[in-house]
Structure 1
Amino acid sequence: MTTTPSSSPLVLIAGHWLGAWAWDEVLDHLNPSPAIAMTLPGLDGDDPERAAKTLDDQASAILDVITRLRESEDQPAIIVAHSGANAPVSLVLDRHPELVHRVVWVDSGPVAPGSIYAPDLPEGVQELPLPPFDVLGQQASLEGLSAEVLERFRARAVPEPGPVLRQSVELTNDARRTVPTTLICCSLPSAQMLELARAGHPMFAEVANLEHLDVMDLPTGHWPMWSRPGDLAQAIQSAASRTD
């Protein structure tokens, strides 16, 4: 494997409760490639119909962006997906793998067919707000986040649409596993993650099926775009420049 400057455009997609704003500090450090950050359908606080959005809506929005980039830049995109963005991005890889030059998972990874984020979420629950930080911290590491960052997170977070959390991720195209993949491991070391993948852990099992995989360690919490934005930008650039 070698590295070379990448001309493929970068599309950055944050996880649950977050919009394009989550990448502001990372974008300040990215310069060799065109880079844009997306706000997925359902996470725009000004959209009065956002609570009805689905994973299909989110996948379609990503496909619209990378299709336009393919037409304007004449290059397939590199998708950078954080955390819960893994569900819609997995759908994109399944439906149009030819539009993706590489996928970079940030403390995340591809989901397995049939995955549902919150299968027990009652149908009557329209949206899921950002939990209290003492609860969230039991689910994902808050390491490296200052009080100021947490305050901004709380102020700008948008509740996650219920349909997104309840929808099953239906995957049928094995070509999704041939897209070159980089895992940037933050809250869990790569060695431990790969061991869990080989053991068939449901959260990581799909990693074991990837044909072109490399891993990078960036030790910090689950939100490295705030705890180590410059280092994350450097890791993304390194991943984007890899050739398989």
Structure 2
Amino acid sequence: MAVTPNTDEAFLREVDEELRRDQLASIWTRYGRWLLAAIVLALAIFGGVLYWRYHQTEVAGEQGEKLQLVYDDLVAQNLTAAKAPLDALAASKIAGYRAMARFTQADLLLQKNDLKGAAAKFSEIAGDASLGQPFRDLALIRQTSAEFDTLKPQVVVDRLRPLAVQGGAWFGSAGELVGAAYLRMNKPDRAAGIFGQMARDETVPESIRQRVVKIAETLGAQAPDHPEEKKAQ
């Protein structure tokens, strides 16, 4: 005897599928334009991001070439040719090139013995919150060095003591200025302490260590053997 097919189940399945198609058609009718607009907008944003990155890369490459030309002109003592492009780079929206251009401007002022002008330029860099902290810290040290003779020693200490710590990137440069300020304040014990730390710290640049080793010994601080003595042993 043949089994009668379950027509109710087939019918219900067809109805369900038809309802789904109607629902999809209704959703597309209501929101289709908005969905298309959203897709187009997402693609436009994605394309814009890609173009912006490409443009930034292109601009960075162009400014890198301009900075190199500036340095070439400076080496050739062609200051007139270097001035305009250097000024333009100092206003760059790319932080690294802006910082390098301003450091160069400040160095040129130092060459003219314009300590006040150089200090002001270094101060601009130190106060530029968009720059990386290492740039700003170095600018603060260079600013303090340019102003050293006109600053009260305590100002030097307060300004640079946070950077004059062992393990810090600028321990040598900042520590030397802080130690000199302590000497001006007639605090030889504190000066001896920081100069002694610098003399024993092999991460401090050798040019600075050679200076502070002699000062540390003069102040009675423990210092390592001189490099010449080490070679002789």
TM-score normalised by the chain length of structure 2: 0.27
Structure with larger Rg: 2
Structure (1 or 2) with the greater strand fraction? 1
Structure (1 or 2) with the greater helix fraction? 2
TM-score normalised by the chain length of structure 1: 0.26
